[in-house]
Amino acid sequence: MHAGGLFLNLIILLIMNIKTLPTLLAMSICISGLMAQAPVWVQSAHPMGLQVNGAIFNGDGQSIITGTNCHPAKIRRFNTSDGTMSWDYTVSTTLECMMGVALSSNNQFFATAEETGNLMLFDYTQNPPTLAQTIDLNTSYAFSVDFAPNSTQVAVGCSNGKLKVYNLPAGTEAWTVAAHTSLGNRCGLLQQQHIDRHRWK
C-alpha cells in the first residue's frame, strides 16, 4: 500500500474512534513529558549491575538505601543530593539476595529480608551501620520487611503466606499468622488484612 493509502486509512481509523482522541492526546503529552525528564543522578547499587530488590529513603530524605540480588548481595546507601555512596555492605556469601529493606521511624534500626529465610537487623545509630543480629525465620523464603510505627516491632512477609512479627531490640518472636494463601505478599497488605486480629503494640 502506498503512502497516500496509509494516510487515508489512518484518517478513517481516527474518525471511527473519535472518542479515543483525548486519550491519545493525553498519552502523547505524558510520553513527551517523560522523555523530557532527566535523572538527578545515576549510581550502581550492585557492582555487576544485578537487580535492585528494595530501595528506601531515610527519615529526613537525605539518603537512599538499596538491597540487591546476590553474587554478592549488596546493601548500599547513597546521599540524595549528589549520589555519593556513604555505606557499602557486602552480605555474607552464605546468604542470598536482599528482597526487602526498611528503616525504623526512630532511625535506630535498619532491616533487610534475606531471600532464603533470614532477617538481618542493623544498628543504624552507628556510622557505618553495624549488623546487630541475624534471625533465622524458620521459613523457606522471605520477601518483604517493615517496622511498626513506634519502632518496637518488625514484620516479615514469608513463604506459605506467613507473616512473622519480632520484638525489638531483643529480636524475639512476637507472633506468626497465616496471613495469605499465596507466596510473596507485601507486609503492608498482610498487616491490613489482619488489622483487627493483631495490632502493633
CA distance to 98, 116, 119, 172, 200, per residue, from 161 (Å) = 19, 15, 16, 20, 19
Of the chain, the end-to-end C-alpha distance in Å amounts to 70
**Owner of C-alpha cell 529480608:** 113
Alpha helices in the chain (DSSP H): 3-16, 21-36, 187-193
CA distance to 8, 22, 122, 189, per residue, from 110 (Å) = 61, 46, 5, 21
Q: Distance (Å, rounded) from C-alpha 34 to C-alpha 28? A: 10
Residues for the chain: how many in total? 201
What pTM does this model have? 0.70
* Sequential pLDDT tens for the chain (201 residues): 555 555 555 555 555 555 555 555 455 555 555 556 777 878 877 777 778 888 899 888 899 999 888 888 889 999 999 999 999 999 876 667 888 899 999 999 999 988 888 899 999 999 999 999 999 888 888 888 999 999 999 999 888 778 899 999 998 988 887 766 554 444 444 444 443 344 444
Q: Distance (Å, rounded) from C-alpha 52 to C-alpha 144? A: 13
**Owner of C-alpha cell 528482597:** 99
Instruction: Look at residue 8 in the predicted model and tell me its pLDDT.
Output: 54
Q: Distance (Å, rounded) from C-alpha 95 to C-alpha 199? A: 31
Handedness of CA 100, 106, 107, 111 (dihedral sign): negative
Residue 129: other Cβ atoms inside 10 A: 19
